Structure 1
Amino acid sequence: MSREMLQTPRGGSTPHDQDDGFYVKPFHSSSSSGTQIGSSAGGGAAGSDGNGGYVYTGNNSGSFVGRHRKKILVGSVILTLSAVSILIALLVKKPWDHSGANGSSSFLGDRRGENGTGGDNRGNEGANKNGSPPRFDEQAAVQISTAVQCNAYTPPLDQPFEYGKQPIRGVNLGGWLVLEPFITPSMFEPYISQNVIDEYTLTKLLGKEKSREYLQKHYSTWVTEDTFKRIRDLGLNHVRIPVGYWALGGLTEDEPYVPDLSLDYLLQGLKWAAQYGLRAMVEIHGAPGSQNGWNHSGRAGKIRWMNGTPEGEANGKRTIEYVKQLTRLIQGPGMEHVSPMFGLLNEPAIFLLERPPIDKWYKDVFREFRNITGVGKGPWGVLHDGFLGLTEWEGFMPKSDRLALDVHNYLIFDHNLIRLNRRDQVNFPCDVWSKSMQQSTAKFGPTLVGEFSSATNDCATYLNGIGVGYRWDGTFQPEEDQIKKLPLDEAACQPRLNGAVEGYCSCKEQNRIGYYTPEYRKFLSDFTQTQMDAFEQGLGWFYWNFKTETNALWSYFDGVEQGWIPKDANNRPGGCLALGRPIGPYAG
């Protein structure tokens, strides 16, 4: 279930998206001799042979110098620029040059395996004019060493990961390249009084230049090389990396997002993943027009994507073009080893839209995706269930080439499930979610859980949106209910179910780690591990999130430090069997 599944989208103004076509800016190499990833095959700029060389088309008459004057001039310019670039690269320290545990500060990092051999330590010392990490080209391709292996339970990156036989055990890098108020409230709080509620309103308020500076600082610090090392050391094997469509450029006048910058950091993240033997699932988290009207799509309010209007149809077509662009990117040199899964679109609110057009859109986008990768090649394509439930997708797109279904399982956005007592919440994954994963795998095909957490309340700051309140303490009220002057729902917290403990129904206390008793921590441990067991009845799981600023129940790192998440995801002491609720085989 969505983090805001029961929250009806709030209203907002209509963006001025053009219906008569658009242009998604191609990816430009930071190297003058590199390939242009994302352009059409064989394409080259005027005067180029498409391979980084220059084509001379001038007059052949006259002296040698006369005949080759342009070549000599071009060569002199290139040599001069190269010398200047090398000097700058040597003198200037880049913002992404964070030293890792091995002391390396090169862009690609130390590629050596445990035996100290193999791999490639080359770096791309160039930088884009905006100061962000350079993009992929032939010289900065992902280099894979046969020795790179995140743990003994996972094959090295030069060997395929056997989905369905080996479980995905991963975390999300949420709040990094797509902002969410509940993950990093400090980025929004200075501007809430000015009606900032999402990345759209934030960048619109700050303007292009200030937004770029603001986001540059965030991107370079929220996730670093050490993040990937820590993920590896916890026994995990995958990361899921959300990215907004604006990362690829091609924005309209009414789209104030910062283009291109987050794409550079996405590519840096993929290189770090390769360095530590981790596989990545890149996914489009925000589509043009917003596919769900929630703040983590980039813009809260109305759904302007595939909503039955010409504007919605145009945004659907734009989204496919962005998927195609990003697909071409992750087909780049060495990428097939690092990014074997691709999320075509995160959490479209299909339950609020007409189903048939979305079915067609799913088929169209997957066809375009496979047209680029080729049959049997490229990453798995992943569709989200759109909150319809897994059974609604049984038999959809049968015999597709490596197609998987994604579901996001949370108890806390359902008024009935959030009220269950602790024992029933712990058992729910063993008894219910495990069977749904088995059934979906049998009747749709490979199914995974792209998001879940340890949370059993919705108290995390701004989790439901800024100014919306919380189901747990009875303050939850979406904006449309406020306008209609509807009464607040009854508080989900029921002290009689778990004892009348002082502060139990207070979101302030629930957000404070110091409030958690040993009994509560044991409950969190049991609940987290039964979920992991249940979701491994399918392809596996990605925990949401790797960290947050203010709420430990949504932070994998905090959960490990506080003891309710195992230090090694491959050796878990708890789970369904340990609690006397073994998961049996699917009966059909």
Structure 2
Amino acid sequence: NLIPLAQQFPYGKKPVRGVNLGGWLLLEPFIKPSMFEQFPQNEHVIDEWTFCKSLGQDECRKQLRRHYETFVTEDDISKIADLGLDHVRIPVGYWALDIQDDEPYVQDSWEFLLRGVEWARKHGLRVMLELHSAPGSQNGWNHSGREGIVGWMNGTATGLAYGERTLRIMREMLEHFSQPKYREVVTLFGILNEPYAEKVGLARVKQWSKQAYQVAREVTGLGEGPILVVHEGFSGLGKWQGEMPPSKYDRVVLDVHNYFIFDKYLVGLDLPGKLNFTCTTWQQDVRTSEEKFGWTMVGEFSVATDDCALFLNGVGKGARWDGTYKGSTPAHPGATCQGRTDASKWAPEYISFLRQFGEKQMDAFEKGGGFGWFYWNFKTEGGVNPQWDYFLGVASDT
């Protein structure tokens, strides 16, 4: 029941249902742990920056090309379409287009991105392309390419220069994907994943996002090119009400990423509490945002009920669930991560809860006119982190 690419997808009327191709063109340790397990701990290889720095350009390129070649295959894309999903979100690092000075990255991901888009086209899937990292790092997390610093738009002259450079990279990306040949397939474009408003300042995130909108629509023209997706910066959807009114801003979606497990209060909710929070607070948040902002989507969510997944919080970082993460206390007395990432040890009741949990979230994000959702992630290496693995979740359903 995929809507043929030759027909326009009725955005805003029919919800987007998709998965993320995370950990592919931008490394994430918890999605493919083996890439990071090859290093001794004292080398402190924790993200793509230190990965390439440690290996050196040639070996880094060799390992990354092998990874790009094998982690997402045409079979994966065909499977996503067969599962009845209609979109994929593809995160890509800024270094696919632009590497400067001492940045140790390699540039090979671009050709694989182009190939992935063509596979999506062949199998009738539409693509949301997302600039997932900014020079200087917009959030200091490993999936920005560089963990530990927030150099982007941080109130310094260098931070501002990083912001300008991000706009140039975004422009270049859009110039390519606004060509007529991509009109039917690259229908959504994320200007920047998860800028961390708490560190950068919400006013700066909003200002940069509006600037990015102007640059993007200069490239595409009004009414043309992909729908633009803006992340709310973890400030809460309510803080964006009226910021980019549809009467003045052409086709903009506000993106929120809903997880229970990175918040010390939410991670401690029991299972019924998590379901209840989904069906009340999250559902209402999306509904209100649809009324007060405009189109609102959930670009990332999962069925994770704890943060025990290997490397989820970063290499060597521990978990909030059992209190091994810096500054955390166990979610409840005696909480342990033992056996929690091994799906073969899960009780049937827990597996059926996870299915219900996934369905209720999808339902909540679609109700009240929600724009739609993308599950994080399509898979993890060998099913290593099962709560984050859509393919595994679907397989356990049958």
How far apart are 1:358 and its partner, in Å? 2.4
1:520 and 1:355 map into 2 onto residues whose CA distance is 38
How far apart are 1:354 and its partner, in Å? 2.3
2:148 and 2:307 map into 1 onto residues whose CA distance is 20
Letter in 2 for 1:536: E
2:200 and 2:92 map into 1 onto residues whose CA distance is 23
| Residues 212-259 of structure 1, C-alpha deviations (whole Å, 9 max, x = no match) | 11100000000010011000010100000000000003x222100002
1:315 and 1:423 map into 2 onto residues whose CA distance is 44
Match of 2:44 in 1: 195
Match of 2:205 in 1: 358
1:466 and 1:192 map into 2 onto residues whose CA distance is 12
- 1:167 maps to 2:1: no
SS at structure 1 position matched to 2:253: strand
- 1:527 maps to 2:357: yes
| Residues 558 and 531 of structure 1, relative CA distance in 2, 3 Å threshold | same
CA contact (8 A) 1:380 1:402 kept: yes
Pairing partner for 2:386 from 549, 552, 560: 552
SS at structure 2 position matched to 1:508: coil
Letter in 2 for 1:163: Y
Match of 2:29 in 1: 181
- 1:403 maps to 2:252: yes
CA contact (8 A) 2:29 2:312 kept: yes
- 1:442 maps to 2:291: yes
Q: Counterparts in 2 of 1:428-577, with a 5 A limit? A: 428-477=277-326, 488-493=327-332, 505-537=335-367, 538-549=370-381, 550-563=384-397
1:262 and 1:211 map into 2 onto residues whose CA distance is 12
How far apart are 1:191 and its partner, in Å? 1.4
- 1:255 maps to 2:103: yes
1:490 and 1:368 map into 2 onto residues whose CA distance is 45
Match of 1:297 in 2: 144
Letter in 2 for 1:366: Y
1:410 and 1:355 map into 2 onto residues whose CA distance is 20
| Residues 69-96 of structure 1, C-alpha deviations (whole Å, 9 max, x = no match) | xxxxxxxxxxxxxxxxxxxxxxxxxxxx
CA contact (8 A) 2:205 2:233 kept: no
1:363 and 1:338 map into 2 onto residues whose CA distance is 25
Match of 1:338 in 2: 185
How far apart are 1:506 and its partner, in Å? 2.9
2:115 and 2:40 map into 1 onto residues whose CA distance is 31
CA contact (8 A) 1:426 1:523 kept: no
2:141 and 2:40 map into 1 onto residues whose CA distance is 16
TM-score scaled by structure 2? Answer: 0.96
2:371 and 2:233 map into 1 onto residues whose CA distance is 18
2:310 and 2:114 map into 1 onto residues whose CA distance is 30
Letter in 2 for 1:357: R
1:506 and 1:186 map into 2 onto residues whose CA distance is 24
SS at structure 1 position matched to 2:299: strand
Of 547-556 and 184-193, the range deviating more from structure 2: 184-193
- 1:227 maps to 2:85: no
- 1:155 maps to 2:155: no
Match of 1:316 in 2: 163
Letter in 1 for 2:356: D
| Residues 545-573 of structure 1, C-alpha deviations (whole Å, 9 max, x = no match) | 0001211100000101112xxx7xxxxxx
> Structure 1 or 2: larger helix share?
2
Letter in 2 for 1:208: Q
2:180 and 2:58 map into 1 onto residues whose CA distance is 32
CA contact (8 A) 2:254 2:295 kept: yes
Size of the alignment, in residue pairs?
391
| Residues 520 and 304 of structure 1, relative CA distance in 2, 3 Å threshold | same
1:223 and 1:347 map into 2 onto residues whose CA distance is 23
How far apart are 1:377 and its partner, in Å? 0.3
| Residues 199 and 277 of structure 1, relative CA distance in 2, 3 Å threshold | same
2:328 and 2:23 map into 1 onto residues whose CA distance is 29
Identity of aligned residues (%): 51
CA RMSD, aligned part only? 1.1
| Residues 529-587 of structure 1, C-alpha deviations (whole Å, 9 max, x = no match) | 11000111310100000001211100000101112xxx7xxxxxxxxxxxxxxxxxxxx
| Residues 143-180 of structure 1, C-alpha deviations (whole Å, 9 max, x = no match) | xxxxxxxxx2x321011111111111100000000000
SS at structure 2 position matched to 1:334: helix
2:203 and 2:296 map into 1 onto residues whose CA distance is 22
Query: Max radius of gyration: which structure?
Result: 1
Letter in 1 for 2:161: A
CA contact (8 A) 1:288 1:318 kept: yes
SS at structure 2 position matched to 1:337: coil
| Residues 336 and 161 of structure 1, relative CA distance in 2, 3 Å threshold | same
How far apart are 1:356 and its partner, in Å? 2.5
How far apart are 1:490 and its partner, in Å? 2.0
1:513 and 1:315 map into 2 onto residues whose CA distance is 42
| Residues 468-509 of structure 1, C-alpha deviations (whole Å, 9 max, x = no match) | 1101111111xxxxxxxxxx53201457xxxxxxxxx33230
1:520 and 1:429 map into 2 onto residues whose CA distance is 17
Match of 1:368 in 2: 215
SS at structure 2 position matched to 1:242: strand
- 1:417 maps to 2:266: yes
Unaligned runs of 5+ in 1: 1-151, 478-487, 496-504, 568-588
1:381 and 1:350 map into 2 onto residues whose CA distance is 19
Letter in 1 for 2:12: G
CA contact (8 A) 1:181 1:465 kept: yes
TM-score scaled by structure 1? Answer: 0.65
Match of 2:194 in 1: 347
Letter in 2 for 1:556: Y
CA contact (8 A) 1:340 1:378 kept: yes
CA contact (8 A) 1:351 1:388 kept: yes
Of 451-460 and 327-336, the range deviating more from structure 2: 327-336
- 1:388 maps to 2:235: yes
1:167 and 1:356 map into 2 onto residues whose CA distance is 30
1:198 and 1:560 map into 2 onto residues whose CA distance is 29
